[in-house]
Amino acid sequence: MNPAIREARPEDRPFIEEIARLTWGGEDYLAKVFEDWVKDGNFYVLELEGKVVGTAKLTLLPGRVGWLEGLRVHPDYRGRGYGRFIQNFMLDLGKKLAEEGKIEALELATYFLNKESLAMVRKDGFSVMARFFNLGARVEDFLPKEPSPVELEMEDLTLRIIPLGWKFVHRSEEALEWLRKNGEAYEVNGLKFLATRGGATFTPLSTGLGCIRAMLPAMAWVAGEKGRGEFDLMIPEGMKPALPGLKRIGLFLWDETEEPNVLVFRKGLVEVV
């Protein structure tokens, strides 16, 4: 039977949970976002002989961006070209949405060691538009300090590209509204940071070493309140010189590298006349 791609349905959950359990040592987020993605739409599965063996998602972001995420292939079916099959489908979907005027570019982020994804997106004409460091921290390494929830303002968006978890948006009024809806903003010691709603990946909105040091106890508090023992920070590549200092105050890289470990890619779909 030939593989078929269709929109995900609620009854696909057991298959998705199995793929998530077998991805990244069981740490994959796919099962956690399954219901939201089904409701949001543009969430697709690759079905083979009645079994879901792959997934992919396109999320509409501010700035007429189609954000690609969630490309997965069940471990038992890797190496057979199914990843490329799904990717081609998503590229065609992007072109269709561009023709309808809904998006003007496709974007995505991937980890620096994900060699298959890196090779595929570069071959498909994507270019790196931003680089970030994703650093980890342990809640137990800090004396938690409760921050104050605050309303995010335009002047808080000091970065050109703003991370919220593993999604990245271009600074704009539209992006501000999207961040307010999908994220949580906190303030401690006069410093603000973003958190994923329900998650524990943080974006410091002031990126000096001293600023991050001052925010870490508050981030630890937020992560602890969400039942997390660890949390992550997304920091722009411009902070590379501060990397040794960040490590001294309790942050760590999951895989040692001197270069940014998160790459954000873009592929324009609208010709500039």
What predicted TM-score, i.e. pTM, was given to this entire model? 0.94
Residue 25: the pLDDT is 79
Regions of the chain with pLDDT less than 70: 1, 272-273
Q: Going from the N-terminus, what domains does the chain have, and what CATH number goes with each?
A: 4-103 (3.40.630.30), 131-262 (3.40.630)
Residue 23: the pLDDT is 85
Angle between helices 82-99 and 115-123 (to 10 degrees): 40
Give the model confidence (pLDDT) of 183-237 as tens digits. 999 999 999 999 998 889 999 999 899 999 999 999 999 999 999 999 999 999 9
